[in-house]
Amino acid sequence: MEDEEDPQCGKPDFVLLDHVTMEDFMENLKLRFEKGRIYTYIGEVLVSVNPYQELPLYGPEAIARYQGRELYERPPHLYAVANAAYRAMKRRSRDTCIVISGESGAGKTEASKHIMQYIAAVTNPSRRAEVERVKDVLLKSTCVLEAFGNARTNRNHNSSRFGKYMDINFDFKGDPVGGHIHSYLLEKSRVLKQHVGERNFHAFYQVLRGCEDSELQKLHLQRNPALYSFTRQGAGLSASDSEERCHHQAVVEAMHVIGFSAEEVGSVHRILAAILHLGNIEFVETEEGHLAVAEDQLVDHMAELTATPRELVLRCLLARTVASGGREVIEKGHTAAEASYARDACAKAVYQRLFEWVVNRINSVMEARGRDPRKDGKDTVIGVLDIYGFEVFPVNSFEQFCINYCNEKLQQLFIQLILKQEQEEYEREGIAWQTVEYFNNATIVDLVERPHRGILAVLDEACSTAGTITDRIFLQTLDTHHRHHPHYTSRQLCPTDKTMEFGRDFRIKHYAGDVTRTGCPILCPEPVQGCTWADCGPELSSHQGTRQGCGSQCYRINDPGVPGHNCSP
């Protein structure tokens, strides 16, 4: 790594550009990338370009070069930002925060790991045991959270499928004494279905490929992920057995370092196995007209792995409890479609609770212990926000809608802090400068969150209204409220745009690109029977099979050939 910037590598700070145009910006970014410079400043903001390869930019020697230096003393680097946040926190005794933003696959998760490694490396010179324990938990927690919250996508082989904000508490000497992890919006639908070319969460494949034969036998599992409904889609995309085994061992070792007992690790594996067995359960109708499980052995496995009586497992799968108007509680049997829906909902709920338990278990070990501000002084905090990246998929579900909304809010924060406040400060100090025009995405945020008229408000109203509410009615309401909005459109409002379907799709023009959303993944309260293939448009009119739908709109079940849907012909 060079200690000085070569003029031939372009401008290390975009503020130094002679002409601030998009063409000059991109040309400087390209020049630096070709010279191996993946980092460039915009003032105190660091722009990073993912090289998708290992570069010799990190490690103890690089940390030593940036430790204790001012931001611009060395070439742009992630360590310089981490060092600036750490020094500002120590110098001013004020909380600081590092926000990592970018589209999916930009390298945000790797950036957060390097920030943690830097903080761990520059703290605790006196080698206090408690501080070392906290540092070990901070570093090892990343490995565990990646196993349960990350997955392979088409853009990234280790994509975070949840949002994470980590608080690191420091004492008056600047040593970490604790921390807390907040998780947001786990993509639990990934348990059931994945886009073509993507996998389920890493943890499932690591258990199947990494456990010893004796443990797999106790879990009633086989090594082949293709044998299980929830991992079949990504079975052919799995890493080699040896690689998955190494990942599994690293996660188990990290859990032990954090403080998970052997029994707790075993319980986690049993829950993962129970979810896999649950996904393979199918329902059939008996000659008497009752619903039954096609393979009883799977119910036995579920009961054993979850330590639940077999009768309770069976009742949960085949019936639901309903409270009548007279406060009488009755048990109503499921139809095959209702049982399948309940099975999938149960799988998602169990995995989400497992993930939240893992996060809470890490927090219980990592939290600051026995801190008394009167005796120990006031703790300060560095926050690291690693949130979802902006996503555009062939089929964009409600989860992508929420993810992109979060990114709109982050973009609004950047605009507020970097552009609006800076220009207001120039005006207050009477500095001569040229006004920089920028796009304010407040109008897009308002489109989503505005009370009574925003997309979320309309969706809430549709879901709480009595009677049958279909995607078509939901879409018509949006069209009525936003027909003149510059960032909203649908086929009804733009009949010539054949990339959208009538009565099904709408499009939001985000700051990072246009995203078309299909009505059905947004609003699907209960599955109903009776749709025909033609209801979903001409592209599926030649398909045959059983289907479920949402009101007047349909969605496909288990069709591996259709990206974004959990369908089978």
The predicted-structure confidence for 483-532, as pLDDT tens digits, reads as follows 999 999 998 899 888 888 888 889 999 988 899 977 544 333 333 333 33
Both tokens of 428, joined, read 């207050």
Average pLDDT, the chain: 84
* Distances in whole angstroms, Cα of residue 275 to Cα of each of 157, 164, 279: 23, 24, 6
Binding residues for ATP: 102-109
Binding residues: 102-109
Helix (H, G, I), strand (E, B) or coil at 123: coil
What is the mean predicted confidence (pLDDT) over 82-101? Answer: 92
Of 198, 244, 391, 399, the catalytic one is 391
Both tokens of 336, joined, read 């095959």
Count the Cβ atoms, other than its own, within 10 Å of residue 266: 14
Q: Is the pLDDT of residue 546 over 70?
A: no
Q: Would residue 156 show up in a list of annotated catalytic residues for this protein?
A: yes
Better-scored residue on pLDDT, 122 or 241: 122
Of 210, 234, 389, 551, the catalytic one is 389
Contact by Cβ (8 Å): 144, 258:
yes
How far apart are the C-alpha atoms of 116 and 295, rounded to whole Å? 48
For strands 39-42 and 45-48, give the pairing: antiparallel
- This prediction has a pTM of 0.82
Q: Would residue 179 show up in a list of annotated catalytic residues for this protein?
A: no
Q: Would residue 160 show up in a list of annotated catalytic residues for this protein?
A: yes
Q: Is the pLDDT of residue 240 over 90?
A: no
Of 109, 340, 516, 558, the catalytic one is 109
Of 156, 200, 470, 489, the catalytic one is 156
| Residue 564: partners with Cβ closer than 8 Å, 6 or more residues away | 195, 393, 394, 395, 396, 397, 521
Contact by Cβ (8 Å): 188, 352:
yes
Q: Is the pLDDT of residue 545 over 70?
A: no
How far apart are the C-alpha atoms of 22 and 137, rounded to whole Å? 43
How far apart are the C-alpha atoms of 271 and 216, rounded to whole Å? 13
Of 159, 363, 396, 558, the catalytic one is 159
* Distances in whole angstroms, Cα of residue 350 to Cα of each of 264, 268, 271, 313, 373: 16, 11, 8, 13, 39
Give pLDDT tens digits for 254-264: 999 999 999 99
Q: Would residue 441 show up in a list of annotated catalytic residues for this protein?
A: no
The alpha carbon dihedral of 198, 202, 204, 208 has a sign of positive
DSSP state for residue 337 in the 8-state scheme:
H
How far apart are the C-alpha atoms of 229 and 277, rounded to whole Å? 9
Of 10, 105, 163, 279, the catalytic one is 105
How far apart are the C-alpha atoms of 17 and 481, rounded to whole Å? 43
Q: Would residue 104 show up in a list of annotated catalytic residues for this protein?
A: yes
559: pLDDT confidence band, cut at 50, 70 and 90? very low
Helix (H, G, I), strand (E, B) or coil at 450: coil
Helix (H, G, I), strand (E, B) or coil at 499: coil
Helix (H, G, I), strand (E, B) or coil at 71: coil
Place of tokens 């924060």: 413
The predicted structure's pLDDT at residue 196:
85
Of 104, 124, 153, 516, the catalytic one is 104
Better-scored residue on pLDDT, 502 or 557: 502
The predicted structure's pLDDT at residue 527:
36
Of 40, 123, 160, 490, the catalytic one is 160
Tell me the H-state helices in 367-454. Answer: 373-376, 398-414, 421-429, 442-449
Give burial (CB, 10 Å; 0-12/13-18/19+) of 154: middle
Q: Would residue 364 show up in a list of annotated catalytic residues for this protein?
A: no
Beta pairing partners, 323? 329
Contact by Cβ (8 Å): 38, 51:
yes
Angle in degrees, CA 365, 370, 372, rounded to 5 = 140
Which H or E run includes 276? helix 262-279
Better-scored residue on pLDDT, 387 or 555: 387
Beta pairing partners, 384? 98, 166
Q: Would residue 159 show up in a list of annotated catalytic residues for this protein?
A: yes
The predicted structure's pLDDT at residue 144:
96
Contact by Cβ (8 Å): 236, 251:
no
